[in-house]
Structure 1
Amino acid sequence: MTGSWGVEALDLDAYLARVEQPAAPPTAEALAALHEAHVRTIPFENVDPARGLRPSLDLEAIAAKLVGRRRGGYCFEHGLLFAAALERLGYDVSRRAARVQPHHNGPRTHMNLVVTVDGTEHLADVGFGAGVLRPMPLEDGTVVDQAGWEHRLVRDGRTWTLEKATSDGWEPLHAFDDQPQRLIDYEVYNHYTATHPDSPFTGKLVVMRLDHGLSRKLIGTTLVVERPDGSQEATPVADVAEALRSLDVDLTEDELADLQAPSP
């Protein structure tokens, strides 16, 4: 049922214009194109939690921010927006929740999607820190190149784990099962993620952008550039506003002032 998610409130034409994609019938190829366009266009950013605000999960508010304001957001905002667009386009979408860093007992604080198209289930993960560029067939052992970094899905009973290839082997990123979520579930996860002192998104700016062969991350006042060959550059940022603009995040003066205000 789509009614409980309020997907009819989404201006689909405005969303498609934002990511510069045409409306197309549901196919695996169209899903991949839309997924990549979303990740490359709409930034992953936690400006609101870093300012002490809990992002709204109301679809109209999300669209006003990520589409109308041309801002970004974090996983719940990306996931709810992308799911609504997919359902408006005729895709079969199941909203899920993942446990981040499951090998370190991380909490279940990530939203991802399982999308069925052409008879195959796919993991769609537009809000995972801009780390997943294209959807992945939900098949045990499937490996997909994500902008130069290999990612793998492995299954253990009902649990799927997304892994990333590193010099030390496969690193578990998050794990999820086949339990569909409700909006109230994400409200609970969102409250923790945006307000708890142990959350990585409170009190520190996090912005991530991904393109082919290039990952850029602004963590606090440090810009980290990574490439698939393992090379990495970390540069202190003197002008946060300029660094944000370079990552396609353009804030108001009040938002910038909140970010740069000293912690109480």
Structure 2
Amino acid sequence: MKFCLTRYLTRIDYKGRAQADLATLRDIHLHHVCAIPFENLDVLLERPIQLDAESLFAKLVVARRGGYCFEQNGLLKLALNALGFDVEDLAARVLVMAPAEMPPRTHRLMRIRIDDQWWLADVGFGGSTLSAPIRLMADQPQQTPHGRYRLVRQEPGWLLQRWQEENWQPLYLFDLAMQYPSDYQMANHYVASWPESHFRHHLLMSRWLPDGGQLRLYNDRLTRCDSDGNEMQQLFNDSSSLFTALRQAFNLGTDDKTHGISETAFHQIWSDLKILK
């Protein structure tokens, strides 16, 4: 099924202007992260993660599923290209887990040129993903609807940080080397199939909320965070109640013949996670 801009905009509940300017980019970026959840269910089910345009559209738009960075930012790029934006694909080295050695480039993001200025866009970095594009400039804190970020020059590229717990926390390193589909295919395969991959051992979901809050799921713990940072957590003791909760909280489509998630399949994820604990 070919990409359709109108259906994508309906999927993210966007009713604004459809033109290649900064205001539109900001609005679409925000609507995307509030509508399409970050999730790794297919990795846990050992389903292949397909990155071609037809597969991304079928899964994230038609089937109303979510995905991780290669899917989320792949879909956003399709929309931005359709709108006429100048987009370049990038890749980053993730620092969130404080790796002892320099990690590989396993995160997809992009930069967009608008009126001779470059903007960083990323709708696929889990609970810390940007909810608005930020300008590609150094040492200037930039406010988004869901927190402050800044970019720091760290040769040969850039370090993205997020203000959290009264400190600037590192998220990832990237440079401006253009990435190609084959680069993402290799990184996607590594992330989805490497036995030690974080995505293969934990159920991860997140979605920003229009009111400034956030929903996060980590295995059996659902966290609701309001715009002031206050958190309410709920633990689940069985797969059935968690399956119902995640469908409601994350607006997750589960009925599609190809990309749906049955309760039986979800119970298998639950059982595997309990074993891993």
Residue by residue over 1:48-94, the C-alpha shift from the partner in whole angstroms, topping out at 9 and shown as x without a partner, is: 00112231111101101111011111110011111111011110000
Counterpart of 1:12, as a letter, is: L
**Residue 86 of structure 2 contacts residue 113 of structure 2 at CA under 8 Å; is this kept in 1?**
yes
1:41 aligns with 2:41: no
2:66 is aligned to: 72
1:23 positional shift: 5.2
- Unmatched runs of 5 consecutive residues or more in structure 1: 1-7
Question: When the two structures are aligned, how many residues end up with a matched partner?
Answer: 257
Residue by residue over 1:171-212, the C-alpha shift from the partner in whole angstroms, topping out at 9 and shown as x without a partner, is: 100111010111111111111111112211113211101124
TM-score when normalising by structure 1: 0.90
2:6 is aligned to: 13
2:45 is aligned to: 51
Change (3 A) 1:187 1:24: same
2:168 counterpart SS class: strand
1:174 is aligned to: 172
Measure, in 2, the Cα distance between the counterparts of 1:198 and 1:247. Answer: 27
Greater alpha carbon shift after TM alignment, 188-197 vs 143-152: 143-152
Counterpart of 1:247, as a letter, is: F
1:251 positional shift: 1.9
**Residue 147 of structure 1 contacts residue 214 of structure 1 at CA under 8 Å; is this kept in 2?**
no
Counterpart of 2:6, as a letter, is: D
1:110 counterpart SS class: strand
- Unmatched runs of 5 consecutive residues or more in structure 2: none
Change (3 A) 1:111 1:164: same
1:118 is aligned to: 115
1:243 is aligned to: 245
Measure, in 1, the Cα distance between the counterparts of 2:52 and 2:141. Answer: 34
Greater alpha carbon shift after TM alignment, 230-239 vs 58-67: 230-239
1:32 counterpart SS class: helix
1:31 aligns with 2:28: no
Measure, in 2, the Cα distance between the counterparts of 1:171 and 1:243. Answer: 30
Measure, in 1, the Cα distance between the counterparts of 2:228 and 2:17. Answer: 36
1:138 positional shift: 0.5
1:168 positional shift: 4.8
Counterpart of 1:58, as a letter, is: D
* Residues 1-264 of structure 1: pairs in structure 2 closer than 5 A: 9-21=2-14, 22=16, 24-101=18-95, 104=99, 105-129=102-126, 131-211=129-209, 212-227=211-226, 229-238=228-237, 239-245=241-247, 246-252=249-255, 255-261=262-268, 262-263=271-272
1:94 counterpart SS class: strand
Measure, in 1, the Cα distance between the counterparts of 2:199 and 2:134. Answer: 26
1:201 counterpart SS class: helix
Measure, in 1, the Cα distance between the counterparts of 2:182 and 2:30. Answer: 28
1:165 positional shift: 1.0
**Residue 63 of structure 2 contacts residue 254 of structure 2 at CA under 8 Å; is this kept in 1?**
no
**Residue 215 of structure 1 contacts residue 225 of structure 1 at CA under 8 Å; is this kept in 2?**
yes
**Residue 226 of structure 1 contacts residue 233 of structure 1 at CA under 8 Å; is this kept in 2?**
yes
1:24 positional shift: 2.1
Change (3 A) 1:148 1:57: closer
Residue by residue over 1:192-238, the C-alpha shift from the partner in whole angstroms, topping out at 9 and shown as x without a partner, is: 11111221111321110112431211111111233465543332124
1:254 positional shift: 5.2
Greater alpha carbon shift after TM alignment, 29-38 vs 198-207: 198-207
Measure, in 2, the Cα distance between the counterparts of 1:49 and 1:256. Answer: 16
TM-score when normalising by structure 2: 0.86
1:20 positional shift: 2.6
